[in-house]
Amino acid sequence: MFSKVLFGRFVPTNSVIHKLDPRAKLVLSMYFIVIIFFANSWQTYAWLAAFTLGTILLTKVPLGFFWDGVRPLIFIIVLTVILQIFFSSGGHVYWQWGILSITQFGLINGAYIFCRFVLIICMSTVLTLTTQPLMIADAVESLLKPLTKIKVPVYELALMLSIALRFVPTLMDESQKIMNAQRARGVNFGTGSLWKRVKSLIPILIPLFISAFNRAEDLATAMEARGYSGGEGRTKYRLLHWHTADSVACFVMVAATIILLTLRYFT
In a domain, 8, yes or no: no
CA 100 to the chain's CA centroid: 32
Do 172 and 111 lie in one domain? The reply is: no
Do 27 and 127 lie in one domain? The reply is: yes
Please state the pTM of the whole predicted model.
0.78
The secondary structure of residue 261, as a DSSP letter, is: H
Do 221 and 246 lie in one domain? The reply is: no
Do 219 and 246 lie in one domain? The reply is: no
**Cα 175 to Cα 187: distance, rounded to the nearest angstrom:** 14
**Cα 25 to Cα 139: distance, rounded to the nearest angstrom:** 9
- Whether the Cβ atoms of residue 260 and residue 35 lie closer than 8 Å to each other: yes
- Whether the Cβ atoms of residue 105 and residue 87 lie closer than 8 Å to each other: no
Do 124 and 22 lie in one domain? The reply is: yes
In a domain, 170, yes or no: yes
In a domain, 233, yes or no: no
Q: How many CA atoms lie within 13 A of 120 on its CB side?
A: 16
Do 188 and 247 lie in one domain? The reply is: no
Q: CA–CA distance from 112 to each of 109, 136, 185 (Å)? A: 5, 30, 45
Q: What is the pLDDT of residue 178?
A: 83
In a domain, 1, yes or no: no
User: What residues contact 11, with CB distance under 8 A and at least 6 apart?
Assistant: 61, 65, 129, 130
Q: What is the pLDDT of residue 1?
A: 44
Do 30 and 120 lie in one domain? The reply is: yes
**Cα 200 to Cα 185: distance, rounded to the nearest angstrom:** 12
Do 125 and 61 lie in one domain? The reply is: yes
φ and ψ of 73, to 5 deg: -105, 10
In a domain, 160, yes or no: yes
In a domain, 144, yes or no: no
Do 38 and 79 lie in one domain? The reply is: yes
Do 70 and 169 lie in one domain? The reply is: no
In a domain, 205, yes or no: yes
**Cα 65 to Cα 52: distance, rounded to the nearest angstrom:** 14
Supply the angle between the helices 104-130 and 133-144 in degrees, to the nearest 10. 100
The domain of 20 spans 16-131+242-266
**Cα 49 to Cα 187: distance, rounded to the nearest angstrom:** 42
Low-confidence ranges of the chain (pLDDT < 50): 1-3
User: What residues contact 61, with CB distance under 8 A and at least 6 apart?
Assistant: 11, 13, 15, 129, 130
pLDDT tens-digit profile of 42-81?
A: 999 999 999 999 999 999 988 888 887 777 788 888 888 8
Tell me how long the chain is. Answer: 267
In a domain, 30, yes or no: yes
Count of domains for the chain: 2
Do 92 and 172 lie in one domain? The reply is: no
- Whether the Cβ atoms of residue 136 and residue 22 lie closer than 8 Å to each other: yes
Do 45 and 127 lie in one domain? The reply is: yes
